[in-house]
Structure 1
Amino acid sequence: MVRADESLDAAFEAARAGDEHAFVKLWRVLQPPLLRYLTVRGNDSPEDLAAETWLQVVRDLKRFDGGLAEFRAWLFTVARNRAIDHGRARAARPAVPVAEPPSTEVMASAEVVVMNQVSTESALALVATLPPEQAELVMLRVVAGLEVADVAHIVGKKPGTVRVGVHRALKALARELSDQETQEVT
């Protein structure tokens, strides 16, 4: 994992200097967790929000001051703000019924045993059963792999609150998964 992070660090620095190939590498690594995060937030167009997020990143990357860890936190902060703005704009417009959007296939996270036991689609559905605040914490901390301090900064909470929220959310997910397995057996 250290080699991958070093390689990504190098790609980040090169992308910041204007290397398009390095930016593509960053995008390939960070796009899947970004899409998962936006999908679980309940956005009806996660791909569009991700594209808007990356456009802002491209515009502002040369002015960005920080390393790769700060960049990841910034990327998810931009995405969160885009999603909030999109939600506000959607709430201001009258609802028009539309067909159900096609499901987006995303890679499953290997960081949590709960997530390893179910398919990606089931995992996203399981996380979506959490209260929105807890689902967001799980997506940022576990799926996106951000540090507690970065998640705390993004959501505007104290690190201890984030740790407790993630712990409670994961316990709830484990309980829900156990209940589902028990129902399947009986």
Structure 2
Amino acid sequence: MAALWSRSRQRQDTGDEALIRSLYEEHGRALLAYAQRLTGDRSAAEDVVQETLIRAWKHPDALVNGKGSVRGWLLTVARNIVTDRYRAKAARPTEVAESVTTQPVEQDHADAVVDSMVVMEALDRLSPDHRDVLMEIYFQGRSVAEAANRLGIPPGTVKSRSHYALKALRDMYADRPKAVKLVALKGVAV
């Protein structure tokens, strides 16, 4: 039984292959020219021709049903494929090729996480009074007067705590110049 099915399938495969070969030989150039006119791109047109022939292979009965010419059916299928691709492409965001000049949409944020950890570690080592002043001035973006009002201390105290907090940060990281630069980059003027 298996041998009979195998021979039958082999004959069918040979017939399908002959059908596709004859379709390509007879209509391939016209189909490619039509697809290239629709797409404006040779490689996209070749893909359309290939997809058209695959659909012809999957639906051989549509080619011999007598409801029109074979070439007309192939050209209609090709046009439908191009239309489907155009609609699918229009529904998606525009693709951007990677290049040296094109920046990625989302960069690796690992360095930013490490930098933030260094800054947070530095702030944790400060006294609460010094940390509060730096948080108000540098991270909340408040002026000396606004920070003084918010913390309930005189403006002169805000200035002096800010001065000594920055000095403490400089002293903490004197042996690590990169850390001083990181803290400075994160908004704290060390």
State if a TM-score over 0.5 links the two structures: no
TM-score (normalised: structure 2) = 0.38
Give 1 or 2 for the bigger CA radius of gyration. Answer: 2
Select the structure with the greater relative contact order (CA < 8 A; seq sep ≥ 6).
1
